[in-house]
Amino acid sequence: MQIKLSILEHEVQLGWEALESLVRDLPNDDESLADLFHGLAQSNIAAVRAAVACKAVISEETVATLASDLSPEVIEALVNAQCRKLSGSAIAQIIQRNWSGINRQIAQNVEDYYEQCDIGAISKLLAATADPVFEPPLRLIPGRPSLLSGPFKGSRSRSPAVGPKHPKATLRLSIRPEGV
C-alpha cells in the first residue's frame, strides 16, 4: 500500500506509522467512513488493520474480514472493540488459535457474547484450550443469561499454579445439573 499526502502541488510519501495514526484519529462514529474502513481492513499493515478494528462504525462484513486476520494485534483489537458484532463461528475460530492473552479477554467478557452465540459452548471451547488459566466471569447482570443461571449449579475451586510458566492460580468452573 502506497501512502501519499498531496497538498496543492506538493506530494509527500508517508510511512505506515502516519497511516496508522491517521486512521486512529478518524472519528469512530462517522458512518460515512464505513467504506473507507472496509478498504483499510484490506491493508497489508497490521497496525492499520488493528486501528480499523477499533472503529465503532465498521460493518459486519469488515468485522468478518478482520476476524480471519493472522495478526494477534488485529484480533486483540477486534475482540476488545467488536464483541457484539463477532459471530459465534468467528469467536470459536479465534479461540481455537490458542492465543492465551486473547482467549483470556474472551473468557473475562464471555457474557458480552450472549446475543450472537451460545456462551456455554464458548466456555467449553475456552476450557479446552492449551492455556489452563480459564477465568469465566461469574458476575450476574440483570436481564442477561449467566453461566450460572438455569438448572445448573456452579462451583469454583482454585488449585495451586504448577511451575513458573503459570504464576497465577488456576480457576476451574464445574457445571452440574441440580440434584446430581
Q: For 100-120, how does the pLDDT look when each residue is reduced to its tens digit (9 = 90+)?
A: 889 888 888 777 777 777 888
103 occurs within a structural domain: yes
Q: How many domains does the chain have?
A: 1
29 occurs within a structural domain: yes
All cell numbers assigned to 20: 496508522
C-alpha distances out from residue 166 to 82, 100, 143, 160, 178, Å: 29, 12, 35, 9, 33
94: Cα separation from own chain's centroid? 8
The chain-wide mean pLDDT, for the chain, equals 75
48 occurs within a structural domain: yes
- The DSSP bridge partners found for residue 13 are 4
157 occurs within a structural domain: no
More confident residue, 42 or 135: 42
Question: Domain residues for 116?
Answer: 4-131
Entry pTM: 0.68
